[in-house]
Amino acid sequence: MEGTIRCSANYVPLSPISFLERSAIVYRDRLSVVYEDVKYTWKETHQRCIKLASALADLGISRGDVVAALAPNIPAMYELHFGVPMAGAVLCTLNVRHDSAMVAVLLEHSEAKIIFVDYQLLNTARGAVEILAKATTKLPLLVIIPEGSKVRKPIPTHENLEYESLLAKGKLDFEVRRPKDEWDPITLNYTSGTTSSPKGVIYSHRGAYLNSLAAALLNEMSSMPTYLWCVPMFHCNGWCLTWAVAAQGGTNVCLRIVNAKGIFDNVAQYKVTHLGGAPTVLNMIVNAPASERRPLPGKVVVMTGGAPPPPQVLFSMEELGFTVTHSYGLTETYGPGTVCSWKPEWDSLPRDVQAKIKARQGLHHLGMEEIDIKDPVTMKSVPPDAKTMGEVMFRGNTVMNGYLKNSKATQDAFNGGWFRSGDLGVKHPDGYIELKDRSKDIIISGGENISTIEVESVLFSHPSVLEAAVVGRPDDHWGETPCAFVKLKDGCDASSEELIKYCRSRLPHFMSPRSVVFQDLPKTSTGKTQKFVLREKAKAMGSISEQRSSKL
Amino acid sequence: MEGTIRCSANYVPLSPISFLERSAIVYRDRLSVVYEDVKYTWKETHQRCIKLASALADLGISRGDVVAALAPNIPAMYELHFGVPMAGAVLCTLNVRHDSAMVAVLLEHSEAKIIFVDYQLLNTARGAVEILAKATTKLPLLVIIPEGSKVRKPIPTHENLEYESLLAKGKLDFEVRRPKDEWDPITLNYTSGTTSSPKGVIYSHRGAYLNSLAAALLNEMSSMPTYLWCVPMFHCNGWCLTWAVAAQGGTNVCLRIVNAKGIFDNVAQYKVTHLGGAPTVLNMIVNAPASERRPLPGKVVVMTGGAPPPPQVLFSMEELGFTVTHSYGLTETYGPGTVCSWKPEWDSLPRDVQAKIKARQGLHHLGMEEIDIKDPVTMKSVPPDAKTMGEVMFRGNTVMNGYLKNSKATQDAFNGGWFRSGDLGVKHPDGYIELKDRSKDIIISGGENISTIEVESVLFSHPSVLEAAVVGRPDDHWGETPCAFVKLKDGCDASSEELIKYCRSRLPHFMSPRSVVFQDLPKTSTGKTQKFVLREKAKAMGSISEQRSSKL
């Protein structure tokens, strides 16, 4: 339209950097970050991030360079989420459970110029650099993050740089390098590795901005929330809450080690209003001994996701007084992509029915454009009959830019103009979706699909079961049959036969496990069960078809 | 970064249309719009808007065409906010208080192809078309909106189209014309005319989307709010709440005539959670007779803006139990551009001090990038001393695209890379801004600036005063002196002398009014006092310098 002018007065590329800049003014003297005896205000956090960006620029970091980080949920990790983008660079957060070999692979693939390392993870990082040194001369600079307490233990840094000294060199008058285009990358998140090889998922400033606002809204996070960090910041940038908490001028309560005592203590001490965690974290909370529990200081909203939560766990959380919001997404969708929006008319249902509904993945949040369940070949939507399975697909501004240096994988993922999640699910008559399995996890037995999530939910509802995972065990006759791996609660007991009988009374016979193995479950650092490890084990167990019942 | 692909899976131009499409799925069977005996669900509203868009396309409306609307806050007006953009067109909402001559000017300037008219405003619209007919043959098509009740009185439509019949012809399989670029215009809002000639402010899909999310957040509007429509939708598209309520799946309670009884009745009946209104609407509420008041059903958040609210009015609103949020902006900033974010530490202050703080305009909301008070010549920021006046300037994605067909005015407004508001204000030590006056309203008396807002606030605090406006009266000696126009509350009495004495005991002598005139205040339809009318009157009164006191 004639009269339109686009200029700095009316167009600014979207970026979470704006959140920090605004909070430094609006919420200036309010607590931004708390960690043991360290406390910062938003003004201080802003200044520290500018100094960090300035120091990075002085170290030669240019626009588009990758800066890696290997650290738990400590203040420096939070600052890196702003300081690195403010230097124009791309933050690549690495899983703290990776070993040196994996860290070396990711440093090489991302071409990270610098790696920030928590002092407790120094050996892993140094080991990775040593591995790299054998293959290349372009080694990343190592910056050590000391323990974030005011009384700092001196760290033997040798030739390495130290985080606080680096910040001290930064200049407050540094001109922040805002993105030239909001589509420019802000972070790089390697997928967790439940699948084959990790892929580097590229997030943009635009996507991060929009998903942060959506996250604030779907958490019903009003201004100045107090957020307890249980979700690792290295995982989808803490489901984008790193930025969302800044947007709302909240207080970030950092937590190095996530356990029930730490959660209850911090919730009580800081009057936490919001926290997040995978179902395993919720499981930790509901199974905490009475001695570790503390009364809640008020309404505490818990966002769960990362794996389908068993209804039993949701039920127990609500019994404890938490308000649980269930969200589902993938690294490729910036973490949360859906939310199971609660309908007031469900309030009058029995609590256990409510928990079953809450275990559904729901519908896309405000930042996502569309979600659907489609036949992956014909791209036709499945009917909303709660039965027909299809692949969960997303479309919207909070879907990744692509996989770093892997255009082929990006093309495959976006084939048909939708992001193909690889998750299988059904659509309920009200439109809400429910996951049934990862496409690679589903068990096909005698031609029938078995949702391992459904079987696991039944096992979880048994009073003695702490954790359960079901995989397919090869079977000469049926192809495969369900095999359950179970960890019992402390002091509880249950036999294989008892659990199988329990399942058979609640599930069709063919869906119930044929074998049960009692053991600790192997996990990724984000709390997901490594089913490929269990599948290997089940495979090694061989067929049990000779023991099969004929009553199908 | 290599591996990035931009496609429909990960990039969708931002548009409020997405809010409606999502709510039609997520909040499908929830109440979207209520008006007397008319009730729609989000699914129905979505379908009606698609049909409206389809019918517009059938009438020949193309991308970028302007469609005008002249209507109060009725369901059809709400639907036009989505249906028109879904046809690819630009909605131009007109002030219902305009006369035929003004409507004719705006129809001609905007080149509107169609005008939707509420049945009560038919004469105004027909008059406008008659005026236009004398100058051009390109006349807009007139569509009549009947009273929105289920039992409709037949309207003599003659040659004109009727809204419901038009919708009935629309097709549900119409392919919605989403914007090709999010910068594309979505609406056209003519400035209210307190200034010289109205200018057509262009809003984009992007700005509307972002300001809607910001509005939801600054109103602390969690999902499924119930919003009572007191702000005219024709004013900045209802401060973007038209779209924000859809984003949050809320219920829109429509109100044709805004008065205290209507507000209290609807708040009680529908359990309203949010409403908005200019300070005059708040004044209406606090001065309502006891017979019209009803107890509040719960927390009711009231966003006020459009004119600086007198602290006394804010104080009385909170006494009544309302939670008031004060927001400030202009048509050029999509309505709200700032919010006076409340700090918990202010809770312990005396109520009247709280009201004074709440009367400040605060700081930019999440959608706005920056606000500042600058010297309009040097563009230097004023010091945060609560004294030095400067011009309020904005910068961000929620600033208009420009003025339609007036590139010169757009350039002037954006000169220096900031939007120049024309408002004068100061910055407090905590960064919060406070308006002192419109630059054209400020009184300069003996070389001293007098903020008319400050003088009016003192008048408002007098128990007999219902409304007050202060303008400069020409003065042979001082240049000008303050002249107050006052409307007293029903059954109250106060003399000029008493009010002048009251002001002199609370303000520096030179700031106190020298003359007081008792009368009703002339208003724009958005509740702003038309000071230019009062200035004319004060001018006609002539100088009073012969009566001046020497005690300055």
| Whether residue B44 has pLDDT greater than 70 | yes
From chain A, pick out residues whose CB is under 8 angstroms from the CB of B30.
Answer: 343
Eight-state DSSP code of residue B313: H
Give the model's confidence band at B549: pLDDT under 50 very low, under 70 low, under 90 confident, else very high. very low
Judge: A369–B207 Cβ closer than 8 Å, yes or no: no
Q: Write the DSSP string, A179-219.
A: -SSTTSEEEEEE--SSSSS--EEEEEHHHHHHHHHHHHHHT
Q: What is the dihedral of CA B210, B215, B220, B224, to 10 degrees?
A: -80
CATH code for B12-220? 3.40.50.12780
Lowest mean pLDDT segment, chosen from A120-124, A318-322, A522-526: A522-526
| Whether residue A236 has pLDDT greater than 50 | yes
pLDDT (tens digit per residue) in A309-366: 888 899 999 999 999 999 999 999 999 999 999 999 999 999 889 988 998 999 999 9
User: Which is higher by pLDDT, A510 or B251?
Assistant: B251
Q: Give yes or no for a contact between B75 and B35, defined as CB atoms under 8 angstroms apart.
A: yes
Q: Which two tokens stand for residue B14?
A: 């931002």
B278-287+298-440: CATH topology is: Rossmann fold (3.40.50)
From chain A, pick out residues whose CB is under 8 angstroms from the CB of B28.
Answer: 430-431
Residue B5, judged by CB atoms within 10 A of its CB (0-12, 13-18, 19+), counts as middle
Angle between helix B122-133 and B100-110 (nearest 10) = 60
pLDDT (tens digit per residue) in B59-88: 999 999 999 999 999 999 999 999 999 999
| Whether residue B547 has pLDDT greater than 80 | no
Reduced to 3 states (helix: H, G, I; strand: E, B; else coil), residue A466 is strand
Q: Give yes or no for a contact between B316 and B345, defined as CB atoms under 8 angstroms apart.
A: no
**Residue A498 to residue A507: CA distance in whole angstroms:** 14
Eight-state DSSP code of residue A160: S
Judge: A5–B341 Cβ closer than 8 Å, yes or no: no
Mean pLDDT of A241-270: 97
CATH code for A13-205? 3.40.50.12780
Question: φ, ψ for residue B251 (rounded to 5)?
Answer: -110, 125
pLDDT at B453: 87
| Whether residue B188 has pLDDT greater than 80 | yes
Mean pLDDT of A463-470: 92
Distances (CA, A) of A70 to A45, A254, A504: 20, 15, 45
pLDDT at B550: 39
Judge: A3–B407 Cβ closer than 8 Å, yes or no: yes
Judge: B397–A224 Cβ closer than 8 Å, yes or no: no
Strand order in the sheet with B274-277: B38-41, B31-35, B251-253, B226-228, B274-277, B301-304, B323-330, B335-339, B363-364
From chain A, pick out residues whose CB is under 8 angstroms from the CB of B431.
Answer: 25-26, 28
pLDDT (tens digit per residue) in B192-228: 655 457 899 999 999 999 999 999 999 999 999 999 9
From chain A, pick out residues whose CB is under 8 angstroms from the CB of B399.
Answer: 9-10
For residue A220, the chain B residue with the least C-alpha distance is B222
Judge: B5–A410 Cβ closer than 8 Å, yes or no: yes
Q: Give the CATH H-level superfamily of domain B442-547.
A: ANL, C-terminal domain (3.30.300.30)
Who among B10, B207, B395 is closest to A399 (CB)? B10
Who among B2, B90, B419 is closest to A404 (CB)? B2
For residue A63, the chain B residue with the least C-alpha distance is B1
Rounded to the nearest angstrom, the minimum Cα separation between A356 and chain B is 18
pLDDT at A153: 55
Eight-state DSSP code of residue A315: H
Who among A220, A402, A404 is closest to B222 (CB)? A220
User: Which is higher by pLDDT, A442 or B131?
Assistant: B131
Q: Closest Cα partner for B432 from A32, A224, A28, A30?
A: A28
Q: How many CB atoms lie within 10 A of CB A223?
A: 18
Q: Closest Cα partner for A515 from A552, A542, A492, A489?
A: A542
Give the residues across from B251 on adjacent strands: B226
Q: What percent of chain A has pLDDT above 90?
A: 78
Q: Which two tokens stand for residue B361?
A: 């305009």
From chain B, pick out residues whose CB is under 8 angstroms from the CB of A249.
Answer: 341
For residue A3, the chain B residue with the least C-alpha distance is B407
**Residue A363 to residue A427: CA distance in whole angstroms:** 10
Judge: B404–A25 Cβ closer than 8 Å, yes or no: no
pLDDT (tens digit per residue) in B227-259: 999 999 999 999 999 999 999 999 999 999 999
Domain ranges of chain B: 12-220, 278-287+298-440, 442-547
| Interface-testing mutation among B10, B188, B427, with chain A (most A C-beta atoms within 10 A) | B10
Strand order in the sheet with B200-204: B161-162, B141-145, B114-118, B66-70, B90-93, B185-190, B200-204, B402-403
Q: Give yes or no for a contact between B227 and B272, defined as CB atoms under 8 angstroms apart.
A: yes
Give the model's confidence band at A59: pLDDT under 50 very low, under 70 low, under 90 confident, else very high. very high
Rounded to the nearest angstrom, the minimum Cα separation between A534 and chain B is 32
**Residue A63 to residue A394: CA distance in whole angstroms:** 30
pLDDT at A316: 93
Q: How many CB atoms lie within 10 A of CB A287?
A: 14
Give the model's confidence band at A550: pLDDT under 50 very low, under 70 low, under 90 confident, else very high. very low
Judge: B28–A2 Cβ closer than 8 Å, yes or no: no
Reduced to 3 states (helix: H, G, I; strand: E, B; else coil), residue B525 is coil
Q: Give yes or no for a contact between A52 and A21, defined as CB atoms under 8 angstroms apart.
A: no
| Interface-testing mutation among A5, A10, A248, A346, with chain B (most B C-beta atoms within 10 A) | A10
Judge: B1–A404 Cβ closer than 8 Å, yes or no: yes
Lowest mean pLDDT segment, chosen from A375-384, A473-482, B98-107: A473-482
Judge: A399–B185 Cβ closer than 8 Å, yes or no: no
Judge: B401–A5 Cβ closer than 8 Å, yes or no: yes
pLDDT (tens digit per residue) in B157-182: 556 799 999 999 999 999 999 999 99
pLDDT at A552: 38
For residue A407, the chain B residue with the least C-alpha distance is B3
Q: What is the dihedral of CA A283, A533, A444, A487, to 10 degrees?
A: -30
| Whether residue B191 has pLDDT greater than 90 | no
**Residue B82 to residue B52: CA distance in whole angstroms:** 9
Rounded to the nearest angstrom, the minimum Cα separation between A468 and chain B is 32
Distances (CA, A) of A524 to A68, A261, A531, B544: 20, 22, 10, 84
Rounded to the nearest angstrom, the minimum Cα separation between B235 and chain A is 20
Mean pLDDT of A97-112: 93
From chain B, pick out residues whose CB is under 8 angstroms from the CB of A407.
Answer: 2-3, 5
pLDDT (tens digit per residue) in A6-52: 999 999 999 999 999 999 999 999 999 999 999 999 999 999 999 99
Which residues neighbour A101 within 8 Å (Cβ) at sequence distance 6 or greater? A128, A131
| The CATH classification of domain A258-439, taken from the options 3.40.47.10, 3.10.20.30, 3.40.50.12780, 3.90.1150.10 | 3.40.50.12780
**Residue B520 to residue B539: CA distance in whole angstroms:** 18
pLDDT at B394: 98
Judge: B402–A90 Cβ closer than 8 Å, yes or no: no
Q: Give the CATH H-level superfamily of domain A441-547.
A: ANL, C-terminal domain (3.30.300.30)
Rounded to the nearest angstrom, the minimum Cα separation between B357 and chain A is 14
Which residues neighbour A165 within 8 Å (Cβ) at sequence distance 6 or greater? none
Who among A9, A28, A417 is closest to B418 (CB)? A9
**Residue A223 to residue B442: CA distance in whole angstroms:** 35
User: Which is higher by pLDDT, A5 or A443?
Assistant: A5
Mean pLDDT of B356-371: 95
Give the model's confidence band at A198: pLDDT under 50 very low, under 70 low, under 90 confident, else very high. confident
ipTM confidence score: 0.90
Q: Closest Cα partner for A241 from A372, B384, B377, A252?
A: A252
pLDDT at A150: 54
pLDDT at A544: 72
Q: Which two tokens stand for residue B328?
A: 């400030």
pLDDT at A549: 42
Judge: A90–B1 Cβ closer than 8 Å, yes or no: yes
Domains B12-220 and B278-287+298-440 share a fold: yes
Give the residues across from B324 on adjacent strands: B302
Distances (CA, A) of A189 to A66, A92, A123, A186, A414: 11, 6, 22, 10, 18
| Whether residue A194 has pLDDT greater than 60 | no
Give the model's confidence band at A548: pLDDT under 50 very low, under 70 low, under 90 confident, else very high. very low
Judge: B9–A419 Cβ closer than 8 Å, yes or no: yes
Q: How many CB atoms lie within 10 A of CB A343?
A: 16
Q: Give yes or no for a contact between A210 and A196, defined as CB atoms under 8 angstroms apart.
A: no
Q: Closest Cα partner for A232 from A200, A271, A280, A163?
A: A280
* Residue labelled with tokens 């990362």: A306
Rounded to the nearest angstrom, the minimum Cα separation between A180 and chain B is 14
Strands A323-330 and A301-304: parallel
Distances (CA, A) of B158 to B131, B161, B162: 19, 8, 10
The pLDDT mean for chain B works out to 92
**Residue B112 to residue B106: CA distance in whole angstroms:** 9
| Whether residue A54 has pLDDT greater than 80 | yes
Q: What percent of chain B has pLDDT above 90?
A: 78
Lowest mean pLDDT segment, chosen from A232-236, A545-549, B143-147, B307-311: A545-549
pLDDT (tens digit per residue) in A63-97: 999 999 999 999 999 999 999 999 999 999 999 98
Strands (E), B241-382: 251-253, 274-277, 301-304, 323-330, 335-339, 363-364, 368-374
Who among A12, A406, A431 is closest to B28 (CB)? A431
Give the model's confidence band at B529: pLDDT under 50 very low, under 70 low, under 90 confident, else very high. confident
Distances (CA, A) of A154 to A109, A145, A157, A254: 33, 11, 9, 22
